[in-house]
Amino acid sequence: MPTSLRQEPRSASSPERAESSVQVPIPSNRFYVYEHLRADSGDVFYVGKGTGKRCYTKGKAHRNSFWQRVVEKAGGFKVRIVADGLPEDLAFLVEIERISQLRAMGIRLCNLTDGGDGVSGWIRTPEWKKKVGKAHRGKVVSQEVRDKISRSVRATGYRHPDEVRKRMSQKRLGNKPRLGQKQSEEEKLKRSKSLLGNKSRSGQKRSEHERKLVSEAMKGRKQSLLVCPHCGKSGGNAMRRWHFNSCPKAVNE
């Protein structure tokens, strides 16, 4: 268990790292263990394990009410990294050991558990999904926030590994939730009203830079040639939408 602190305390409002368009593989030893310090006294009040910017999150959806009250009274918090560059299993062990050390010293922490029980691999129950969905339903994300998220994702250069992409593809095979269903007049009217004035990219032309990005992203992707058994037309993956079981000739047969 590392006992030396590897990083000086930093404010939770530290500026983000400069963006980079260089693609970087996601390492397995990307986890770290961190401490939260009171902004007024510098005392430790929380120990956690995470990746990326987890140590700076402070929303009510991410921190318990005990943590929220301490931060409110202290006027903020600072972050101190205890150990980094760890695989997840070792990060859990370091977190458990650090919590145990601090509590043995009589320090009261906001941690509700003894550590080692993060949400990695957690399977969301239908009840949990319904509760979260109800809480977020109707919220509108501003364009400014959307642009910020987009820049953040592009900066990481992240691309799902081929194994993950293959698993996602297999999971979606045969997924035709609306196939054969007809919209009611009420549903059509509601959809029509929601799309009024939405011209999206109507009349817009892609810039040379945007076209180049799309071209680079599509390079190396092979699209299989599909032939509809009902009308004999051939094409790419879009054929699945208008042909095969949805082919007009198949409907009339």
Tokens describing residue 34: 């961190």
Question: How do residues 41-62 score in pLDDT, each as one tens digit?
Answer: 999 999 999 988 899 998 888 8
90 exposed, middle or buried (CB, 10 Å; 0-12, 13-18, 19+)?
Answer: middle
Q: How many angstroms separate the Cα of 42 from the Cα of each of 2, 20, 36, 172, 231?
A: 20, 33, 9, 50, 73
Delimit the CATH 3.40.1440 region(s) of the chain.
10-119
In this predicted structure, what is the pLDDT of residue 79? 94
Question: How do residues 108-133 score in pLDDT, each as one tens digit?
Answer: 999 988 888 765 556 678 888 888 88
pTM over cut 0.75 = no
pLDDT greater than 80 at residue 184: yes
Is the Cβ–Cβ distance between 25 and 94 less than 8 Å?
no
| CATH class of the domain at 10-119 | alpha beta
In this predicted structure, what is the pLDDT of residue 22? 43
